[in-house]
Amino acid sequence: MVLHDAETARGLDHAPDGILRHLSTGEYTFETGGYLPDVVLGFETWGTLNADASNAVYVAHALTGDSHVARGASTEPGWWDGFVGPGRTIDTNRFFVVSANMIGGCSGTTGPASLDPNGVPWGSRFPFTTIKDSVRLEARLADALGIKVWHTVLGGSMGGARALEWAVEFPERVKNCVVVASTAQSSAEQIAFAQAQSSAIRLDPDYSGGDYYSNELIPSAGLGIARRIAHITYRTETELEVRFGRSAQGTETPVGSASLERGRYQVESYLDHQANKLISRFDANSYLILTEALMSHDVGRGYGSVENALARLAPVNFFVSAVDTDRLYWPEQSERLAQGLPKPVAVRYITSPIGHDGFLTDIEQLGEALSEEIFS
């Protein structure tokens, strides 16, 4: 394995906080048989690894997230700034925090937009990727950093799936596991929502079978529709009604317009805004790769059943949380996971009016419980 930044593995504990760096992990054969001659992981760290490497915490990002969990040497805001940092729940004065971009993404780790050995984007040739693939490659990063056992692995949504998969794949390497707003396997409804998003991208005329990188146009319309569908599942009907109701956007007229192009409701403008934000920073192929990885999420695969997989977790201390208004990852699914563990735990609830995205906006509600049970 090669650190692209010309740093020794152990020297990384003195690297600037929150700065993207890269590790070449070598060739990799995917769970379903695909192959890449080299996989580069983009990752960031915060804090200092102690002498026996016992203070390492791994934070896994969600579907369209990235490794930039918190501010550091960069002033760019992190997606869990109020949760990770000096004096925060995950105190970087005490813990060495690591986060890596998932394989298949577009934020520093090898993905479909990356170049093959001939200098051509992988595009449609990029292998089918699973959550297990992500974790197995992240284990190589841990090895390079000199981390034999994580003090804690944690994440929300797809990050929660990755955290759980870490514990199942490597129970001897995880002391504590925190799973927020996630499940042991994707449900039929979650797969259905994801399939609609994937289809929106593939049906975009500019998708070109996934090989659009040399074209003048990219499948932005399909990616935008996918994001609109996803964002509706991330929020609640109550929040949308309170914030927008049936109000028109500005002076636009959504009803009774004489023109063929009617005006918009405020909620439509809001979804347009969410779509445009993602289009400006995310690759459509990566969205497909990661969405289908989440569709395939099943910790029981390879172990005969979910029950068999969870039975491997006796050595791991668990903390399971759900958002009380989540309509994508239902609280009942978190309850089922918590009760299916070798040592069942009570589910800790985040109270939020907005739904699934509460794992991002209201994570600090878990601060006291996590400080007592995990980060004491």
Residue tagged active-site, from 13, 17, 204, 326:
326
User: From edge to edge, which strands make up the β-sheet containing 21-24?
Assistant: 2-3, 21-24, 40-46, 96-100, 56-60, 150-156, 174-180, 317-323, 348-350
356 is catalytic: yes
- 246: which DSSP letter? T
305 is catalytic: no
**134 Cβ contact list (under 8 Å, min separation 6):** 102, 103, 162, 165, 293
Contacts 24+ apart (CB under 8 A), 338-345: 340/184, 340/306, 340/307, 340/310, 341/310, 341/313, 342/310, 342/311, 342/313, 342/314, 343/314, 343/318, 345/318, 345/319, 345/320
Task: Read off the amino acid at residue 13.
Answer: D
Residue tagged active-site, from 67, 99, 107, 157:
157
State the Cα–Cα distance between residues 266 and 263, nearest whole angstrom.
10
| Residue matched to tokens 């000096």 | 86
CB 336 within 8 A of CB 362: no
Task: Read off the amino acid at residue 367.
Answer: G
**306 Cβ contact list (under 8 Å, min separation 6):** 184, 185, 298, 299, 300, 340
83: tokens are 């949760």
State the Cα–Cα distance between residues 186 and 49, nearest whole angstrom.
34
Residue tagged active-site, from 61, 68, 297, 356:
356
157 is catalytic: yes
- Residue 338 vs residues 279, 324, 341: alpha-carbon distances, Å: 36, 15, 6
State the Cα–Cα distance between residues 310 and 106, nearest whole angstrom.
31
Which residues are annotated as catalytic?
157, 326, 356
